Chain A
């Protein structure tokens, strides 16, 4: 059986600037009068990332906003293409990223459970077997048969979390703490996340909360301006993070 694991070597990732350039007729005409060159450059979002994550490891990603943590997770999930280097991921990925995306607003909650489950690679039979459990966990009651355009944002996140966290995978990618409704649900969700972390063969967790990072993970990666500036035991990584914050203050 193939060993679950992640191997990255000299990975560079750039955000393509051409997608954000203004290309209207007005912008073209005005550009003749503009003195400054405002051409956007590609953003070098991940720089020379080299690391290996082995089966059983729980890894926390620390760093300031925009340091590259979420981009790193999306690169692992094979959503963002890398420009240079080698990216090898062995194992099924279960991404808990951008939970409130990926719904058909006209469809009911029940229908969306099916679509989201299928999107995540499950078969209709597998999704149907788990539908009741998902509905119960999401605590949506009779709303489950209403179109989700009638749901509040909290209900949406609850449903998304219930679906995504019920399905199986080897590598768990977690991004930040989510606001999934009321206090009681948050408690329940926290327990579910703990179970997921225990079941998963690899966990990669992006967070600003080093308390939870220390509780969950043994290893930490500190990101700064798209680079991994520290890779080591989680306690040392938190210390390095605090030093970095201090240095940036001064």
Chain B
């Protein structure tokens, strides 16, 4: 089994030029002929954050300088998770023209989609970091060191999730619609925009304690907004979820990959 897995990983590595160039192509096509180009990755969430933090900050009586980066961080992380899952559903259908020509590991096509989204996320992270540097200089310090690890975990979540969705999506064409419903429900019970106090005061701490999204968000928010290291529970939940998603992804790849050519 380990031999087969290492062979599979080697094939992903061997095709690196192919998937990396397709990722760059996706980024180029996305912003081709736009005036601001890749700056849209920062402008878009920033504009939405200003609007939402103004309205929701008043609703929840939260100070703007804290609530705006809270929303910004929630927005860019959630958007990446959502977009990866939705894009994953059609990834293999869109890659059909390649699948019928050459036998590359099919997981490279979800990698292509997620990498392009993740690079956009990293640009947006620059905006978030700048905001935090300016608005919360007192938080700058050693806890920032966890951010690259948090980004790697977030990427692992998204790639595994997109891969699961890609193999399911070619078989069940209703998946994107179902997924939107499920993810909307998860959004409502997660502190993506809603402040944590709302959950605690409403006696809904269970929705935080057992919600992997909350723990993942805290990996970013703890150092950036509160200036301290994320707790071990946040790491345990985030790493545990990544491991679970990858086990599921491997099961899907082993069981479904070879027959996928008949579906696309």
Seen from chain A, the residues whose Cβ lies within 8 Å of a Cβ on chain B are: 15-16, 19-20, 23, 77-81, 95, 97-98, 101-104, 106-107, 111, 114-115, 118-124
Chain B residues positioned under 8 Å from A111 (CB to CB): 25
Chain B residues positioned under 8 Å from A103 (CB to CB): 97
Chain A residues positioned under 8 Å from B25 (CB to CB): 104, 106-107, 111, 115
> Is B100 touching A101 in the complex (CB atoms < 8 A)?
yes
Chain A residues positioned under 8 Å from B15 (CB to CB): 118, 121
**Interface set, chain B 219-254, CB cutoff 8 A to A:** none
**What are 17 of the A-B contact pairs (CB < 8 Å)?**
A16-B262, A19-B171, A78-B103, A97-B101, A98-B101, A101-B98, A101-B100, A102-B97, A102-B101, A103-B97, A104-B22, A104-B25, A107-B25, A115-B21, A119-B101, A119-B102, A119-B104
Supplied contacts A20-B262, A111-B25, 9 more A-B pairs, CB within 8 Å: A19-B171, A81-B259, A95-B102, A101-B97, A101-B100, A115-B22, A119-B102, A120-B102, A121-B15
CA distance A124 to B15 in the complex (A): 11
Smallest CB–CB gap between A156 and chain B, Å? 12
> Is B21 touching A118 in the complex (CB atoms < 8 A)?
yes
CA distance A115 to B137 in the complex (A): 45
Chain A residues positioned under 8 Å from B104 (CB to CB): 119
CA distance A78 to B17 in the complex (A): 21
CA distance A122 to B14 in the complex (A): 10
CA distance A111 to B263 in the complex (A): 28
For residue B200, CB closer than 8 A to chain A, the reply is no
**B18 CB contact (under 8 Å) in A78, A95, A118:** A118
Number of interface residues of B (CB under 8 A): 24
For residue B258, CB closer than 8 A to chain A, the reply is yes
For residue B38, CB closer than 8 A to chain A, the reply is no
> Is B18 touching A77 in the complex (CB atoms < 8 A)?
no
**Interface set, chain B 90-104, CB cutoff 8 A to A:** 97-104
For residue B142, CB closer than 8 A to chain A, the reply is no
Smallest CB–CB gap between A194 and chain B, Å? 23
For residue B29, CB closer than 8 A to chain A, the reply is yes
CA distance A103 to B22 in the complex (A): 11
> Is A95 touching B101 in the complex (CB atoms < 8 A)?
yes
Smallest CB–CB gap between B169 and chain A, Å? 13
Q: Digit string of B97-114 for contact with A (CB within 8 Å is 1, else 0)?
A: 111111110000000000
Chain A residues positioned under 8 Å from B261 (CB to CB): 79-81
User: Residue of A at shortest CB range from B173?
Assistant: A23
User: Residue of B at shortest CB range from A77?
Assistant: B103
